[in-house]
Amino acid sequence: MSIRPAEAIPRAAEYPEPALDGLGTPARYYAMVAVFLGMTLSVLDTSIVNLALPGIARDLHTGAAQTIWIVNAYQVAILALLLPLSMLGDLVGYRRVYLCGVAVFTLASLACAMAPTLGVLLLARGLQGLGAGGLMAVNAALVRLIYPRSLLGRGVALNSVVVATGAVAGPSIAAAILSVASWPWLFLVNLPLGAVVLGLGYRVLPRNVAPPPSAARLQAIDVVLNAAMFGLVFLGADALAMRPGAAAGSRAPGVAMLAAGLAIGAVYVRRQRRLAVPMLPLDLLRIPVFALSMCTSIGAFAAQTLAYVALPFLLLEVYGRSHLQAGLLITAWPAGVVVSAAVAGRLIGRFADGLLGALGLASLALGLLLLALLPAHPVDADIAWRLALCGIGFGLFQSPNNHTIVTSAPVHRSGGASGMLGTARLTGQIFGAVLLAGILSATSLHDGSAPKLALVCAAGLAAAASAFSALRVPQQKPLPTETSP
């Protein structure tokens, strides 16, 4: 694909009618770059600062324990505002929410780089999370507008590859930057990229093709209840995960936050059930294939979280690998995701999404079980191919599952479906973290029983998610495909 000068890039609005079923070329390519580059920025900043926390603590004269809030502030802001911003996209346009998200993210990145104290940095990170939430909330809805229906599976698969690659690349990019510059540059690199996304997106991103539902309303009380529910559940789960072996008294704050979050959630859900177009998309959850896709996603991401946190314990404590060796071995998983997600994009439309997801999650369950059953002294190759099998299975599940979530919702509720993609992922990760905390509290790390039990539980969750995915097959039919790229 040749890139023309900026003034020659066509605006999406200059293309008549194709926006009703995706953009034509070359507008689709430019819009794809704007969406995927923005997603890369938001995904990278989820993990890119982890490596810099000791340096930040030293420069800002604060304790290492307090710096964990630099990560939490970003994640809590995303989770708390994902659904409100997705509904806002239904009301005022996904393009507008996305571009505002890019602008806030970019300006907040500058504020992060210039922060003189930890308090200012935390506030800036929260604003950065608000911007990232705008990107994530409408990402899938924009992909649905950009791609023709016959090619949407490939667009969703490419989106999965971008997210997986960004998650993998975060620590490596952070290490490269910190090897030549100080930690503020982790945020300053966002400025030119954010400006590119903002300028390109303004020219090429399509506008909504369906009017918002007449009964849709975004009310402040719902936003507050949504933020309180997800924020308290996240922080409670995080507190428990950070203190897996602690005494019952020290776990009390985490339990209290979880309980408060669930109580607020009960009030929130009861209120949402009375609305014709709820911000928490209960109307979409009444669609059987959508609800099954949510269950599939939550189970899969819970399994992934359990495994991702248990694997370092297994490799470092049980099998005696160094940090470098463990890191290199674990990269076999995301590498498998990247490869299989690209293949899955070609299979979407030829086979039912539920079948692809069931096969992928069955492979994930098998890989996790084989990891739990490793011998006492495995060679690196034995570990690597099992991890690669997990990644291949996860990649085969993710793209078809996301495709079903996006396409099973009415066009005017694409924002709600897009927000639920991220919400299901984060819900699964929270559940996996809480389950792992319980496992680590009840078992021993030193004899290897804790990480192996976690992997067995992860395999069980993946198998359950595979069953949910298989239940969708009778409701789905392969779609006619198109051979053009």
Residue 394's contacts (CB-CB under 8 Å, 6 or more residues apart) are 300, 304, 333, 336, 337, 340, 360, 361, 364
Answer whether 336's CB lies under 8 Å from 392's CB: yes
CA distances from 298 to 423, 457, 478 (A): 9, 14, 24
Average of per-residue pLDDT across 210-234: 84
- Look at residue 2 in the predicted model and tell me its pLDDT: 39
Length of the chain: 485
What pLDDT sits at residue 201? 92
What's residue 477's pLDDT?
Answer: 59
Q: How far does the chain reach from its first CA to its final CA, in angstroms?
A: 11
Can you give the pLDDT at residue 322?
Answer: 80
**What value does the mean pLDDT of the chain take?**
83
CA–CA distance, 239 with 237 (Å, rounded to integer)? 5
Q: Which of 76-80, 119-123, 476-480 has the lowest mean pLDDT?
A: 476-480
Give the percent of the chain with pLDDT over 70.
Answer: 89
Provide the pLDDT for residue 277: 81
210 vs 62: which has the higher pLDDT: 62
CA distance 193 to 470: 41
Using N-to-C axis directions, what is the helix angle for 94-114 and 190-204, rounded to 10°? 170
Residue 100 binned pLDDT confidence (cut-offs 50, 70, 90) = very high
> What integer pLDDT is reported at residue 434 of this predicted model?
76
Q: What is the DSSP string of 325-348?
A: HHHHHHTHHHHHHHHHHHHHHHHB
For helices 323-330 and 380-407, give the axis angle rounded to 10 degrees: 40
User: Residue 356 in contact with residue 344, Cβ under 8 Å?
Assistant: yes
Calculate mean pLDDT across residues 222-227: 92
In this predicted structure, the answer to whether residue 330 has a pLDDT above a threshold of 90 is no
Predicted confidence at residue 1, as pLDDT, reads: 39
Whether residue 17 has pLDDT greater than 70? no
pLDDT band per the 50, 70, 90 thresholds, residue 241: low
**Cα four-point dihedral sign 84, 86, 89, 91:** negative
pLDDT surpasses 60 at 10: no
In this predicted model, which residue has the larger pLDDT, 446 or 117?
117
Summarize the confidence of residues 295-314 as an average pLDDT.
88
Other C-beta atoms closer than 10 Å to the C-beta of 294 total 22
Instruction: Let me know: does 47 contact 171? Beta carbons within 8 Å.
Output: yes
464 pLDDT more than 90: yes
pLDDT of residue 450: 84
- Residue 211, pLDDT > 50, answer yes
3-state DSSP call for residue 232? helix
Task: Please give the Cα distance from 401 to 355 (Å, whole number).
Answer: 10
Does 196 score more than 60 pLDDT?
yes
Q: Per DSSP, which regions of 236-296 are E strands?
A: none
**What is the tens place of the pLDDT at every residue in 103-162?**
999 999 999 999 999 999 999 999 999 999 999 999 888 998 898 888 888 888 888 778
Percentage of the chain with pLDDT > 90?
Answer: 34
Cα Rg for the chain, rounded, in angstroms? 22
Considering only residues 24 and 447, tell me which one the structure prediction assigns the higher pLDDT. Answer: 24
pLDDT class for 253, splitting at 50, 70, 90? confident
Closest to 354 measured CA to CA, from 478, 460, 458? 478
Task: Supply the pLDDT for residue 197.
Answer: 94
- pLDDT band, very low/low/confident/very high, at 392 (cuts 50, 70, 90): very high
CA–CA gap between residue 298 and residue 427 (Å, rounded): 6
| pLDDT score, position 148 | 87
Q: Return the sign of the alpha-carbon dihedral for residues 380, 303, 479, 473.
A: positive
The pLDDT assigned to 485 comes to 35
Residue of higher predicted confidence among 274 and 104: 104
Which of the residue ranges 45-49, 242-246, 262-266, 349-353 has the most confident prediction, judged by mean pLDDT?
A: 262-266
The alpha carbon of 88 is separated from its chain's Cα centroid by a whole number of angstroms, namely 19
Average pLDDT of span 456-471: 94
Distance, C-alpha 169 to centroid of its chain: 15
Mean pLDDT score, 26-38? 90
Contact predicate 128/49, CB 8 Å: no
Identify whether the C-beta of residue 281 lies closer than 8 Å to the C-beta of residue 419.
yes
Residue 278 in 3-state DSSP?
Answer: coil
Over residues 11-19, the mean pLDDT reads 41
Distance CA 479, CA 149 (A): 9
Taking Cα atoms as reference points, which of 143, 140, 139 lies closest to residue 28?
143
pLDDT at residue 348, rounded to an integer: 86
pTM of the full structure = 0.79
Helix spans in 277-331 (H): 282-285, 288-313, 323-330
Q: Which range has the worst mean pLDDT, 119-133, 179-193, 443-457?
A: 443-457
The Cα–Cα gap between 196 and 202 comes to 10
